[in-house]
Structure 1
C-alpha cells in the first residue's frame, strides 16, 4: 500500500481503520462519509481536498481487491475484504484462527494475528504518525507478538525488505518518528556479549515498545537541536 504511488499512507491508515470498525466475525458494510474519514485521519481541508484523498485511497483499495464498494447515491457502502489482496471475504482473525486450528492437520498455522489497541485511534496516534511510522509500528508489534512483556526488538534492513517489503528509508524514518512519538525507546546493545570481548564488541540499536504511551494523547516531540555558539574573544592585550 505504501509503495503503490502517491497517497500510500492514506491507503494504509484507511484500510486499518476499516478493520478497526469490524465488530463481528464477518465483515459488515460501512457507510461513512469521505469527509468524516478525512477528519479522523486529520487530513487538511477534510470537506474538499481531504475527502478527495480518501476517495482516491478508496478507489485504489477497491482496484487492488482489499475492499468491495457498493455505490448508492450519496454514500459508498464499503465492505472490507481479506488482507491477502485476492478479493476473498474477510473473516475476523480470531474466528479464522479457531476454524483453522480445528480443521488443519499442518503444524504451522497461517491465521496468526496481533491486536492494535483502540487507543491507537481514539488518542489520535493514527492521525499524527506518518505512513512509515505506522508501518514500522505494525512490524514491531508483529515481532513482539503483541503488547506483552518488554522484549528487545531488532531486524536488519534485509529483514525489513524481505519480510515486510519496507525500504531502508521507510525503516529508518519510521523508527525515528516512533521514538519522537514516545512509542518506542531505542538503546545500544551488544550483538552477543558472550561471543565478543568488550574491546571488540559489535553494537546495534534495539527497540522497546512503550504500550503505555498509547493511552496518552498523540504527539510528535522534535528532538532538541544543539546550536554551538562561538566563544566570544576578549579584548586583545594591546587594546586601549
Structure 2
C-alpha cells in the first residue's frame, strides 16, 4: 500500500513563537469527519468530572492525566473525545475502524504509517488506563468499547441518560456534563487545536457549567491557584491553550479591574469569553501578536 502523506499546508508559528502549526485542516480530514458525522451524535457528551477534580485531595482529573506525555497526550485526548462523539446510544457503542481512518479524521501526518502508529499507541494507553476496552478482531480492525470517562473501569452510560435517571438526587451531580458540537470535528477545529488549546476549551466549558451555550456569554476568570487546584495543569499549558483558542477565533480576552469600586490601587486580571458560534465556520488559524498571561 502506498504511503499517504497529508498535503502540504501553510503554517505559521503559534502565538508567542515556538512550534509551527497548520492554518487550515486538510480536505481528507474534513471528508472523514463529514462521513463520521452520519454515525455520530449531533453533540458529544462529556462528564465534567473528566475535566476537573472535586477537591484538591483527589488525584489529577482524567484530562490532566491523559494530556501528560508530550504529543502522545494530544492524540489520546482527541481520539478519546472522538470515540465519545460516536456513542449514539446510552450504552457503550462498539466501534471497529482502522487506525488509518482515525489518523485521517484527526489529520495526522502520514496516516497510513506514522499516523496509524500514533493512533495505535494512543489506543493502547487508553486501554491500559481503563478508558476503553479493546477486543482483537483478526483480519479486521480492533473493536473498541468506551468505558466511563473517569477511568474507573466501569461500563459507559451516557451522562445525559445517567443524569436523568438520578435527577434531583446527590448521585445526579456526578453526571453533570458538557456537550461538544459535531462541528468541532466537521469544521476542522479539533484537528487544528493543540492539546493545550483543546484542554482549555474543555476547561472553559466546565467554567460555564451549561449543557448548551448560547451567545453572548459572560466572561470568566480563573485564578492561578484555583486553576492548579481544580485542573492540575501548568501555567504554561494555560497560556498556550488560551493563545490557541484566540488564534482560532474561539475566545477573546480582556483585562478587567479586580475591585472597580474600591479606592485601593487598581489591579487588573485577564478575563475570557468563549465564542461557541465560531464553530459553525470553517476553522482557520489567525495568529495574534499579543500574548496572554495569567
TM range (shorter): 0.7 to 0.9
**Contact kept in structure 2, 1:24 and 1:92, CA below 8 Å:** yes
- Asked if 1:75 corresponds to 2:141, the answer is yes
Instruction: Mark the CA change 1:41 to 1:159 in structure 2 (over 3 Å): closer, same or farther.
Output: same
**Contact kept in structure 2, 1:67 and 1:79, CA below 8 Å:** yes
Instruction: Give the 5 Å matches for 1:32-51.
Output: 32-51=97-116
Aligned residue among 90, 112, 119 for 1:54: 119
Q: Which residue of 1 aligns with 2:79?
A: 14
Q: Once structures 1 and 2 are overlaid, which stretch shifts more, 27-36 or 216-225?
A: 216-225
Q: Which residue of 1 aligns with 2:203?
A: 139
- Asked if 1:206 corresponds to 2:255, the answer is no
Q: Which residue of 2 aligns with 1:129?
A: 193
RMSD: 1.7
- Residue 173 of structure 2 aligns to a residue in which SS? coil
- C-alpha distance in structure 1 between counterparts of 2:206 and 2:193, whole Å: 18
Instruction: Give the 5 Å matches for 1:84-233.
Output: 84-101=150-167, 104=169, 106=170, 109-146=173-210, 147-149=213-215, 150-196=217-263, 200-223=265-288
How far 1:224 moved relative to its partner?
5.2
- C-alpha distance in structure 2 between counterparts of 1:6 and 1:129, whole Å: 12
How far 1:107 moved relative to its partner?
8.5
- C-alpha distance in structure 1 between counterparts of 2:108 and 2:243, whole Å: 22
- Residue 61 of structure 1 aligns to a residue in which SS? helix
Aligned residue among 53, 64, 68 for 1:3: 68
- C-alpha distance in structure 2 between counterparts of 1:85 and 1:108, whole Å: 18
How far 1:86 moved relative to its partner?
0.9
What whole-Å deviation, never above 9, does each CA across 1:20-76 have from its counterpart, x for those lacking one? Answer: 111111111001110111011110000000000000000000000000000011311
Instruction: Mark the CA change 1:151 to 1:67 in structure 2 (over 3 Å): closer, same or farther.
Output: same
Instruction: Mark the CA change 1:154 to 1:166 in structure 2 (over 3 Å): closer, same or farther.
Output: same
**Contact kept in structure 1, 2:162 and 2:172, CA below 8 Å:** no
